[in-house]
């Protein structure tokens, strides 16, 4: 059955994985209708997922899988040549802390199951009461690659995400800065009090590019993104979220094999970045009065069916 959605384009940040502040909301400049989803999409792991006529490659080159940045998650253990759990520079935004035991593999899925800590933890003066996790690629991605992930969000106030970011201290000179490419950042439940711009963030694909933490005055900072509005909730089913990092100045976003929008980052995206799959808490979507994690294990879990990365050769 073909469902329909509204696609809303934005010129400003919707929300960020890492930033402490949100920069506000700009109303959509246009709205169009597009078909979405079908369960047969992505069953062929030998080619990228594009609907007919949607492949943006117009060159003589062929999409080739980047194996070190791809995984079908059909094992019961995480492939440590490709992925690692947690980083030593970020343990999560309070009140959500990253825990390794939130991550599991079964039923051909990588799963991150959010849970309430049995006792609150105090780390560096911050109080943590909820657990999510962070999975990151061991290897870096580069401009020109196409990234896609078949994912089902959790039904919690915590996030379900698929994105890329560089490591600032790996750069030098003016390249000592942060670039972030958010392909999908959604939540499964809106808390009682949220800003107006976030009232629908449980029902869509929310993508952004961020440039920040610059070391040179001439480096531009800022955010530019796009949004796709669903007519159902993000947790109601799997979707294929994708982006083509076409060049340092152009990112193309795709949903379920269909082109949605092009975003031009505020600064050049030419630094190597790492893939991340993260469930976390946001300051704009606070813990609900009931604690926010009252659902079943399935409802508290973000499911990653597969991640595939491609480049033209």
Tokens standing for residue 261: 């929008």
Question: Which residue(s) pair with 249 in the sheet?
Answer: none
- Number of helical (H) and strand (E) elements in the chain, helices listed first: 0, 19
Answer for the pair 200, 25: CB distance below 8 angstroms, yes or no: no
Q: Nearest Cα to 240, choosing from 165, 118, 301, 149?
A: 149
Q: Nearest Cα to 109, choosing from 160, 166, 165?
A: 160
**DSSP code for 87:** B
Q: Cα dist. 125→93, 95, 121, 122 in Å?
A: 12, 12, 10, 6
Q: Could you write out the DSSP letters of every residue in 136-166?
A: EEEEEE-TT-EEEEEEE--SSSSEEEEEEE-
Instruction: Tell me which residues are annotated as active site.
Output: 180, 185
Residues 6+ away with beta carbon under 8 Å from 54: 254, 257, 258, 259
Q: How far apart are CA 290 and CA 153, in angstroms?
A: 20
């Amino acid at each position: 059955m073909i469902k329909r959605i509204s696609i809303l384009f934005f010129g400003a940040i919707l929300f960020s994985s890492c930033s402490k502040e949100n920069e506000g909301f700009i109303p959509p400049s246009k709205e169009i209708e597009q078909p979405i989803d079908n369960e047969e999409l992505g069953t062929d792991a030998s080619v990228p997922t594009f609907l007919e006529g949607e492949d943006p490659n117009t060159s003589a080159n062929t999409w080739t899988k980047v194996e070190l940045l791809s995984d079908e998650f059909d094992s019961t253990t995480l492939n440590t040549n490709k992925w690692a759990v947690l980083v030593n520079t970020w343990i999560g935004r309070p009140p959500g802390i990253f825990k390794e035991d939130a991550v599991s593999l079964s039923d051909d899925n990588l799963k991150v199951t959010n849970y309430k800590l049995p006792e609150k933890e105090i780390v560096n003066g911050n109080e943590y009461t909820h657990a999510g996790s962070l999975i990151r690629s061991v290897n870096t991605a580069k401009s020109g690659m196409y990234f896609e992930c078949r994912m089902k969000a959790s039904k919690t106030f915590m996030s379900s995400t698929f994105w890329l970011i560089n490591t600032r201290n790996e750069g030098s000179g003016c390249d000592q800065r942060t670039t972030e490419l958010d392909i999908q950042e959604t939540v499964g439940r809106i808390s009682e009090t949220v800003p107006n711009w976030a009232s629908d963030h449980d029902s869509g694909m929310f993508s952004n590019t961020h440039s920040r933490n610059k070391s040179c005055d001439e480096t531009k900072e800022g955010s530019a993104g796009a949004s796709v509005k669903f007519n159902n909730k993000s947790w109601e089913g799997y979707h294929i979220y994708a982006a083509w990092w076409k060049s340092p100045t152009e990112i193309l976003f795709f949903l379920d094999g269909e082109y949605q929008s092009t975003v031009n980052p505020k600064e050049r995206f030419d630094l190597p970045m790492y893939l991340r799959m993260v469930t976390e808490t946001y300051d704009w979507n606070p813990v609900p009065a009931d604690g926010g994690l009252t659902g079943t294990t399935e409802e508290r879990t973000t499911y990653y069916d597969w991640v595939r990365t491609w480049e033209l050769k």
